[in-house]
Amino acid sequence: MQKSDTISSLRKISVATLATALFKRGLRNQVIQGVHPLTQNGENMVGPAFTLRYMPAREDRNGLDVFLDPDHPQRKAIETCPPGSVMVIDSRKDARAASAGDILVTRLMKRGGAGIVTDGGFRDASSIGQLDMPAYHQRPSPPTNLTLHEAIEINGPIGCGDAPVFPGDIIVGDDDSVIVVPAGIAGEIALEALEMTLYENFVIERVREGASITGLYPQTDPAIKKQFNEWKSNIANRF
C-alpha cells in the first residue's frame, strides 16, 4: 500500500477498530490515554507524527524572554513541522500549564499541519476548537507553558498519554480518541482494518434489523459469511 493510500484509508477507520487490529499483533498500549478532541466533527485526523518533548521547567531558564529566541524549541517546532504531519506533544500528562495556545496552533494550521495532540492542555482552548484543524488534549489550561514546561527536544521518540510515539508513526484521531500506528506496519494495518470496518458496518446493519450477535459477531456461521459477501458486492460501488 502506498503511503498516501494508507493515509486515505485511515480516514475511514475508527480508532477502536485500529486498536483491535494492533491488539491482534500484541500491541496493547497504542491509544493515547486521557485525551479527547476539542471539537467533534465526524472526520478523522491522520498524519505522520512530528513530536515535541517538554521537561519540567526550571524557573531561571523559563522567563518570558526565552521566546525572543526564534530558535526556541516550542516555536521552532511549529515553524518546522512538515505539512501533513500531526504534532504530538509529550507534556508528561500534566495539564496544570498549557502545551500551546491559539496563535501557535493557528500558525501550525496555516503551515499545513494535519492536527495537534498533547497529553496536557491547550490555552485558548475554545478558540482552538473553532479552527479548521483537529486538536486533542486533556483539558483547557490557561497558564503559559513556561510555568511548568520547558520545550527540550524536537522530533525524538516520546511518550504521550502513556503511549509510545516515534517520529513518523501514523497518528489517527476520531471523535473519541487518538491512536499511534507504528510506521512500519501502517499499510498492512490500514488494509486489515478497512476489511474489519466493512464487516462491522455489515454487522451493525444486521443488528439494527434485529439480528442476534451470536454467529454474527464474530462471524462463526457460514451462512452469514455468504450474506456478508453479497452485501459487500452490493455496496462495492458505493463505498
User: Under rule CB under 8 A, which residues in 149-188 are in contact with a second copy?
Assistant: 150, 152-153, 156-159, 162-164, 174-177, 179, 182
- Identity of the residue, 65 or 238, whose beta carbon is nearer to a second copy in the bound complex: 65
How near is the Cβ of 196 to a second copy at its closest, in Å?
A: 11
Selected from 8, 11, 112, 213, the binder of a second copy by CB under 8 A is 213
**Where are the alpha helices (H) located in 90-212, listed in sequence order?**
102-110, 125-128, 186-208
- Identity of the residue, 162 or 195, whose beta carbon is nearer to a second copy in the bound complex: 162
How near is the Cβ of 225 to a second copy at its closest, in Å?
A: 14
User: CA separation (Å) from 51 to 4, 76, 163, 164, 208?
Assistant: 21, 12, 13, 11, 42
- Identity of the residue, 1 or 196, whose beta carbon is nearer to a second copy in the bound complex: 196
Question: Of 189-208, which residues contact a second copy (CB under 8 A)?
Answer: 200, 203-204, 207-208
How near is the Cβ of 52 to a second copy at its closest, in Å?
A: 14
b vs e for 206-236, b when ≥16 Cβ sit within 10 Å of the residue's Cβ?
Answer: beeeeeeeeebbeeeeeebeebbeebeeeee
Check residue 137 for interaction with a second copy (CB under 8 A).
no
Selected from 13, 19, 52, 224, the binder of a second copy by CB under 8 A is 19
Question: Of 34-63, which residues contact a second copy (CB under 8 A)?
Answer: 34, 36, 40, 42, 55-61
Q: Provide the 10 A C-beta neighbour count for residue 27.
A: 18
Closest CA to 239 of 183, 197, 210, 178: 197
How near is the Cβ of 223 to a second copy at its closest, in Å?
A: 15
Question: Of 75-94, which residues contact a second copy (CB under 8 A)?
Answer: 75, 78-79, 92, 94
Check residue 130 for interaction with a second copy (CB under 8 A).
no
b vs e for 135-164, b when ≥16 Cβ sit within 10 Å of the residue's Cβ?
Answer: bbbbebbeebbbebbbbbebbeebbbbebe
Beta strand ranges found along 27-85 (DSSP E): 36-37, 45-56
How near is the Cβ of 222 to a second copy at its closest, in Å?
A: 14
Check residue 119 for interaction with a second copy (CB under 8 A).
no
Secondary structure letter of residue 14 according to DSSP: -
Half-sphere CA count of 58, side-chain side, radius 13 A: 3
Helix axes 73-80, 102-110, angle to 10 degrees: 30
How near is the Cβ of 113 to a second copy at its closest, in Å?
A: 13
Check residue 223 for interaction with a second copy (CB under 8 A).
no
